[in-house]
Amino acid sequence: MNRKLRYAILSFITIGAFGISCKQEKDSSVLSKNVPTVSKVTELNPDEEEIKTTINELLFNAGNYNVSALKTMVSDKAMLGISSLKDGTWFNTEIAINDFFKSIEKRERSPYCELPNDYDILITEGQLALARADCNLYRWGIPQSREVNHFTFIKENEKWKILNISWTKEELPNEQQIYDVEIFARGYAQAWCSQRPNFVSSFFAEDGELTVNNGEPAKGTLEITNVAKGFMEAFPDMIVSLDSLKTKSDKTQFYWTLTGTNNGLNGTGNKVKISGFEEWTFNDKGLIQKSTGSFDENEYKRQLEVGTN
């Protein structure tokens, strides 16, 4: 199908959906360290770059179930839908955006990381845009499904806003569900940004351990959840970024940077930017069995008192 025809069809699509994904057991897929898919690189103009950034932010917030952020990006009259292939038959679902937001608050959730492989963007008169993002959806470093997302944008007050989203979903066959440690690390960093501490502990074995700056180890998912909760409560706007990932023998080093404002209970109100790393060992299911973390605690305390300046 040529590009013009595809977008002619796409222009009639007025429904869409975020990543509602069937939960899969974390230990049911093949484990190996695989090189992540490389997205195709094309030069984009400023409007196209803004649209691409908006799509990435939406997928990031959807993977963390950050409803408050999603509401600022999508029209309150938008419709969401999904066309899903199951046992050789396509099933369609349609739901209003506000009903969707209510539904995700009522069901059990687990983190996912949806990464685009490529984009197609078509802009009309600088005011309307159609975009397509071909993505893989991952849970704990394992690709679960291929999801092709279609977006309709409109420019309001010089900012692109999403009117509608539509997508197709197709589960990947078992032979393609190959563990990727770099995607695992990206998902782990994303979970630290979620304000859902149980998302962080879900990356650990049930009897896993997390040690920070030679302190007493947090053992088991409940204690690890409490460690994550402490940071999230201290920094409601916390962002943790993956800086790099290094593997030596059976150890993997996850280098990170935390940025946030200490606006939690009894907080100083100061901004903090601190870097550190965790050294991981994994169990045979690809989850963290033991993590030993380190950062400059004196600099961290200084920034809490006076900020980053």
Domain ranges of the chain: 3-176, 181-306
**Assigned CATH topology for domain 3-176:** Nuclear Transport Factor 2; Chain: A, (3.10.450)
Task: Give the list of residues 6+ apart from residue 151 with CB closer than 8 angstroms, or none.
Answer: 16, 51, 55, 129, 130, 131, 132, 133, 162, 164, 165
Mean pLDDT within 49-75 = 93
Mean pLDDT computed over every residue of the chain:
86
Match domain 181-306 to its CATH number in 3.30.530.20, 3.40.630.30, 3.10.450.50, 2.60.130.10.
Answer: 3.10.450.50
pLDDT at 195 over 50: yes
181-306 matches 3-176 in CATH topology = yes
- The CA distance from 212 to 220, in Å, is 15
Kindly report the pTM of this predicted structure.
0.83
Which of the two residues, 109 and 105, has the higher pLDDT score? Answer: 109
pLDDT at 48 over 90: yes
Q: Give pLDDT, residue 198.
A: 96
Which region, left, alpha or beta, applies to residue 305 given φ > 0 means left and ψ of -120 to 50 means alpha?
alpha
Mean pLDDT within 9-34 = 39
Mean pLDDT within 53-80 = 91
- The CA distance from 144 to 20, in Å, is 12
Question: What's the pLDDT band for 17 if we cut at 50, 70, 90?
Answer: very low
Mean pLDDT within 29-48 = 57
Q: Give pLDDT, residue 52.
A: 95
pLDDT at 71 over 80: yes
Which of the two residues, 3 and 296, has the higher pLDDT score? Answer: 296
Which of the two residues, 166 and 30, has the higher pLDDT score? Answer: 166
pLDDT tens per residue, range 110-132:
999 999 999 999 999 999 999 99
Q: List Cα–Cα distances, 37 to 19, 55, 102, 248, 290, in angstroms.
A: 19, 18, 34, 22, 28
Q: Give pLDDT, residue 43.
A: 76
Q: Give pLDDT, residue 14.
A: 35
Which of the two residues, 30 and 116, has the higher pLDDT score? Answer: 116
Q: Give pLDDT, residue 274.
A: 97
- The CA distance from 211 to 123, in Å, is 49
Q: Give pLDDT, residue 3.
A: 43
Q: Give pLDDT, residue 42.
A: 60
